[in-house]
Structure 1
Amino acid sequence: QRAPGKVLLDAVCNHLNLVEGDYFGLEFPDHKKITVWLDLLKPIAKQIRRPKHVVVKFVVKFFPPDHTQLQEELTSCLCMTPISVDLYRYLFALQVKQDLAQGRLTCNDTSAALLISHIVQSEIGDFDEALDREHLAKTKYLPQQDVLEDKIVQFHHSHIGQTPAESDFQLLEVARRLEMYGVRLHPAKDREGTKINLAVANTGILVFQGFTKINAFNWAKVRKLSFKRKRFLIKLRPDVNSSYQDTLEFLMAGRDFCKSFWKICVEHHAFFRLFEEPKPKPKPVLFSRGSSFRFR
Structure 2
Amino acid sequence: MSCRRKQPELFKSENTRKPQKDSVFALRVIFLDDSEHVFEMEQRVLGKDFFSVVCGHLKLVESEYFGLEFRHHCGSYVWLELLKPLAKQIKRRNDLTFRFIVKFFPPDPGQLQRELTRYLFALQIKQDLSNGSLTCNDNSAALLVSYLLQAEIGDYVEELDKQHLDNKRYIPNQECLHKKITRFHRRHRGQSPAEADGQLLEVARKLDMYGIRPHAASDGEDMRINLAVTHSGVLVFQVATVSSKARLSISSFNTAIFCVLGKY
TM-score normalised by length of structure 2? 0.76
Structure 1 position 206, deviation (Å): 1.4
CA distance in 2, matches of 1:63, 1:21: 12
2:251 is aligned, of 209, 213, 216, to: 216
- Let me know the Cα RMSD of the aligned residues: 2.1
Shift of 1:120: 0.7
Partners in 1 of 2:46 and 2:217 — Cα distance?
Answer: 31
**Does the residue aligned with 2:190 lie in a helix, a strand or coil?**
coil
Structure 2 counterpart of 1:25:
67
Mark the CA change 1:28 to 1:123 in structure 2 (over 3 Å): closer, same or farther: same
Corresponding residue number in structure 1 for 2:8: none
- In the alignment, structure 1 residue 98 sits paired with structure 2 residue 131: no
Q: 1:213 Cα deviation (Å)?
A: 6.4
Q: How many residues align?
A: 216
Q: 1:186: Cα distance to partner?
A: 2.4
Q: CA deviation at 1:111?
A: 0.4
Structure 1 counterpart of 2:178, from 127, 139, 149: 149
Q: How far apart, CA to CA, are the structure 1 residues paired with 2:176 and 2:62?
A: 40
> In structure 2, how many angstroms separate the alpha carbons of the residues matched to 1:193 and 1:53?
31
Identity %, equivalent residues: 54
Question: Match of 2:213, SS?
Answer: coil
More deviation, 9-18/52-61: 52-61
Match of 1:247 in 2: none
Alignment CA distance shift 1:171-1:188 (3 Å): same
Give 3-state SS (helix, strand or coil) of 1:187's partner.
strand
Structure 2 residue aligned with 1:48: 90
Structure 2, unmatched stretches of 5+, are 1-42, 240-245
TM-score (norm 1): 0.68
Structure 1 residues 212 and 177: CA distance shift in structure 2, 3 A:
farther
Q: Helix, strand or coil for the counterpart of 2:82?
A: coil
Unaligned residue ranges in structure 1 (runs of 5+): 72-84, 230-254, 257-296
Cα pair 1:136 1:149 within 8 Å, conserved: yes
Relative to total residues, which structure has the larger helix share, 1 or 2?
Answer: 1
Match of residue 252 from structure 1: none
Shift >6 Å, 4+ stretches: 191-194
Q: Deviations over 1:114-161 (max 9, x none)?
A: 000000110111001111011100000112210011110110000010
The alignment status of 1:162 with 2:185, answered yes or no, reads no
Q: Secondary structure at the match of 2:260?
A: strand
